[in-house]
Structure 1
Amino acid sequence: MDLGIDGDAALVTASSGGLGKASARALVREGANVAINGRTESTLESAAADLRGEAAGDARVVPIAGDLTDPDGVRNLVSTTAEEFGGLDHLVTSAGGPPSGAFLDTTDGDWYDAYDLLVMSVVRTVREAAPHLRADGGGTVVTVASRTVKEAVDSMVLSNSVRAGVVGLEKTLSKELAPEVRANAVLPGSHDTERVRNLVDQAVERGDYESADEASAARVAEVPLDRLGTTEEFGATVAFLSSPKSGFVNGTALPIDGGSIGSNL
């Protein structure tokens, strides 16, 4: 399916790996020009080289290093993207997840760090991007959150609590930025990523499981489709929500979890 975003300009934050990179890959495969972001320049350059090898047509991939918790870095990220591509049509906000752990094991610093990383990074990026997204017929925002917004997950108190603020923001943006800009969120469950592998290792270190194989099997057992999601599946959904093909989808929080969430809504 041609999503109709060939030649568009997109920015994907925290996209040197994981689900952010998967989102960037899906967009560049559709012919969109994509700015990718990460803190480590060597990793970012490697990701850019990978994505350029999959770009459709004349689509460009521009790596822009920067820390999403640094307001000046966010301003530079958005302004450089707009200058490189002559505007900005699509924003995908992604960020690395906070550490796992139980409530009584977290400190005030852990909470402030999680809020800055997960919520304020989106606040700052959207604030800077909004004028560009509203120009020339409007654009889209897709916010990558987590299934923990719908259903609390054991030993994930920071994600369970703080990510809810991201979805509240996304819902507000879907009204305040409309009709020029559509805003939606995606709620990934377990995908085959380094982040999930790290969470598996942390669960073993806490003593929740005796081995990584046991911890991984427990994750798969929660999914009715009996497997982890692929990054390609995730990226394709983000690209769809960024495209005119989803033109009447606005203000939704879409689980991409293989049916693992237990809540009805």
Structure 2
Amino acid sequence: MKMYQVDAFTKELFKGNSAAVIILDEWLDDALMQKIALENNLSETAFIKPNSDHIFDICWYTPESEIDFCGHATLASAFILFEHYPALKEFTFRTRAVGDFYITQHADGRIVMDFPIRAPEPLLDYPQALQDALDLPFKAVYINPQAYIVEYEHADQIRSLKPNFEKLKQISIDAEQLYGKSRDIVVTAPSKGQYDCISRYFAPILGVNEDPVTGSIHTAVVPFWAERLNLNELVAYQASNRGGTLYCKILGPDRIEVSGYAKLYMTADIYI
């Protein structure tokens, strides 16, 4: 079985976020896909299966569990499909939980993903433990189906933050009891110069203390800042150690483009 490892949301190797991509003829057992993701020990492993000529089914696993939505592994998967099927110009990813994604590619190689917006809502009664888990005071807290979204005033606060991952993990566990589903934590602030907004993303409950670049959460973060900055197109930066750049455009009240570049790191064979 062929597997590809791709660095997503970057033009450079060893930057962005790494994802494994496996193209299947038929779905594997869920438990086996989970074991493969654990063995890979990357933020996500994506499994894709052709559905029809221009539709591909996709799902994603962290080392700990299957997740509803992953942006960087979707970008990595699209990169591999465009390489694998040279005649393919556009296609649809069909997901189990969040609907269809519409994928195209610019002439310069940038891959454009049309996602549903998953807008955040204000959360006045937020977990007080966030104040202890994040070592710098924040401005406000919001929530969407994926994460607590913590607003800061300055980009340098995002870069210098030193979170307590054990406390963040407990916050995610407590969210599962509150909402029936855990929540990760993203911190975000406006930025000046090259980028319009900046963020970092923490998911210790999924076995990923800090995710290098998280495309999915920008379906919440970018609409949030687009409204406040009065912008329709934004360049976002995720300030992990590896870092990654996301080019985003609001398409309407319900859809957003999130786009970026990718770089192939490795092609491998899996023996199962």
**Fold shared, TM-score > 0.5 on shorter chain:** no
Select the structure that is richer in helix. Answer: 1
Select the structure that is richer in strand. Answer: 2
Provide TM-score, normalisation by structure 1: 0.28
Provide TM-score, normalisation by structure 2: 0.28
